[in-house]
Chains A and B, each alone.
Chain A
Amino acid sequence: MYGKGLLKGLWITFKHSFEKKDLVVRYPEQMPHLQERFRGSLAFDFEKCIACGICIRNCPNNVLSMETAKDEDSKKKKLMQYTIDLQYCMFCNLCVEDCPTNSLYFTHDFELSQFHRDDIKRVYHRPPELDQQEAAQKTSDQDTQTAADDKKEKQLRAMINAINKNPQKVLARVLDGEEQVEVLAAVLMADEKKLARMAEMMITDKEKAKKVALAFVKKELKEREKGGDQ
């Protein structure tokens, strides 16, 4: 019969209109269930970013931009400010995918509308804690430096003392033969600078100390010969 399908359709919609309407998410009261990889607004982790600029070069819409400055001490690039102008973002994921440190990531926040256009833009300033942290890092570095210096000097002084006290025994480490050792001891006792140099070398580089010691002895012997001639 003609029109049977029409009546069937009408009956279906009639039934539907009395069904319970629980297919809809009543959004402001009820949040929709978002999948894990849902791309909501873009967020940025200032501390992780290494200011490499890969994200900025990859963004097709020029959403991202940053300001950097050169760190005076380490001569490294340092991030001062990072801007996400979200109104142009098409959530293509290119920046997130390419960030080597995962500083950029998508959140589940999808309520992006703002009353003013400028409010859409997100500007991340360099957090002051980061500077403080860096400063703290630097002073601690210096401390270890001075500590090392102290240690070296102590060693040096100990070495000089040892040479002064017992030249034969200590200098035997760099030279063979008692005669030579005696000559070297005489040279070093005469010149404090040479003594300090020799002591330092003996601590840091024994081979070099041996060579220098030999050179000293030869020179001294020569001079003595000359003096003997006169």
Chain B
Amino acid sequence: MEHWFTDIAQALVNWLMGLGLSAGWADFVLLIVQWLCIVMIVTINVIILIWLERKVSGFIQLRLGPNRLGPYGAFQTIADAIKLLTKEDIIPSRTDKWIFMTAPLFFIVVSVMLYAVIPMGDGMQVVDFNVGLLYFISIGSLSTICLLMAGWGSNNKWSMLGAMRAVAQMISYEIPLAISLLGVVMIAGSLRLSDIVVAQGNIWFVLLQPIAFITYFIAATAELNRGPFDMPEAEQELTAGAYTEYTGMRWALFFLAEYTNLVAVSALCATMFFGGWQGPGLPSWLWIIIKTYLIMLVFMWMKWTFPRIRMDHLMSFSWKILLPVSLANLVLTGFGLEFFKWMGWW
């Protein structure tokens, strides 16, 4: 069980090399297969997640959630996906066509790119980058541009307003997010995600860095534009923010990308703070799935519990509270590390 996927990959490479391909080409084909797998994982995950989100929100609001199509309404999202795929793709006449049309594509591509560095099991990583975390954070902040593209291209004041809110919010929360992760990096001594996982062999970093975990969690919620920080969408004020003018598949791509980001950020959270794929008994890839889903459930739980906060409160919370706290945590971690080294405990 443990090595199923790595074995399959190895067998594929061996088979290709047996066909007379050079090692480089075989790796290239493997890369393509891996990407396809990631896209598949993402799609399946999103289908499950949307169902889960609706169920969780229903349960929290004393409703039942989807319960008609299939057992416990499990096929509801599939029906919705088919509906969205077959819907007419409306492009309003006054939009900036190219920007309008490509924004969702960029968004989904950027979201899928995040998965390149996430360790999805022992040795199950598309690229084991030595600056994996840096890559993750920088690619993650690219989605800001996609939202701005969508808002600008729509040529609609609500979309523009939503996009501007998204940019302001995401850039502000990017900073505490990165700084809170730095504490973990200092302890692990590496930006390589697999190293960080291995460094948590004895103790999860959530216990060593509780403040960093809390700031990361809050900042990640804002990064994902999820409630209570879903100002950019805020359907009561902005209809759907940057997504207002989108229909059919393009809108579905945005939706897909949002949930893809959710999975990626939760997986990173599991990797950085909860020991990644490490765990007793079960195979490593199952452990990361379990941890990721538990973290996503907490995200959903928070979304359906807290009311949306105001834009100015949002910004001042980021700059006046989150940033100082994460900076203080960084300084504390530095002193702590030096102290431990000085005492010879590290």
Contacts and interface: CB of A to CB of B under 8 A. Distances in A.
Interface of A: 6, 9-10, 12-14, 16-19, 21, 23-24, 26
B60 A17 contact: yes
B61 to A, nearest CB: 8
Contact of A21 (B56, B59, B301, B304): B59
A18 to B, nearest CB: 8
B305 interface: yes
Nearest to B56: A17
Contacts of A18: 59
Interface string B279-305: 000000000000000000000011011
Contacts of A19: 62
B229 to A, nearest CB: 13
Contacts of B304: 13
Contact of A9 (B61, B63, B305): B305
Contacts of B301: 10, 13-14
8 contacts: A9-B305, A10-B305, A16-B60, A16-B62, A17-B60, A19-B62, A21-B59, A21-B62
Contacts of B305: 9-10, 12-13
B33 interface: no
B64 A17 contact: no
Given A6-B306, A9-B305, A10-B305, A16 B64 contact: no
B268 to A, nearest CB: 23
B302 A10 contact: yes
Given A17-B59, A21-B63, 10 more contacts: A9-B305, A10-B301, A10-B302, A13-B60, A13-B304, A13-B305, A19-B62, A21-B62, A24-B62, A24-B63
Contacts of A6: 306
A28 to B, nearest CB: 9
A33 B201 CA distance: 60
Interface string B40-59: 00000000000000001011
Contacts of B306: 6, 9
Interface in B194-232: none
Nearest to A5: B306
Contacts of A24: 62-64
Range, interface on chain B: 10 to 19
Nearest to A23: B62
Contacts of B59: 16-18, 21
Contacts of A10: 301-302, 305
Nearest to B214: A3
A68 B321 CA distance: 78
Contacts of A13: 60, 301, 304-305
A26 B73 CA distance: 14
A3 to B, nearest CB: 9
Nearest to A17: B59
A57 to B, nearest CB: 40
B303 to A, nearest CB: 10
A168 B70 CA distance: 107
A138 B11 CA distance: 98
A17 B63 CA distance: 9
Contacts of A21: 58-59, 62-64
A6 B304 CA distance: 12
Contacts of A12: 305
Nearest to A3: B214
Nearest to B298: A10
A6 B309 CA distance: 13
A23 B60 CA distance: 13
A29 to B, nearest CB: 11
Contacts of B58: 21
A13 B59 CA distance: 9
Contacts of B56: 17
Contacts of B302: 10
A16 B64 CA distance: 12
Contacts of A23: 62-63
B301 to A, nearest CB: 7
Max chain B CB contacts within 10 Å: which of A9, A19, A21?
Answer: A21
A18 B304 CA distance: 15
Max chain A CB contacts within 10 Å: which of B60, B61, B305?
Answer: B305
Contacts of B63: 21, 23-24
Contacts of A26: 64
A207 B289 CA distance: 116
Nearest to B58: A21
Contacts of A17: 56, 59-60
A22 to B, nearest CB: 9
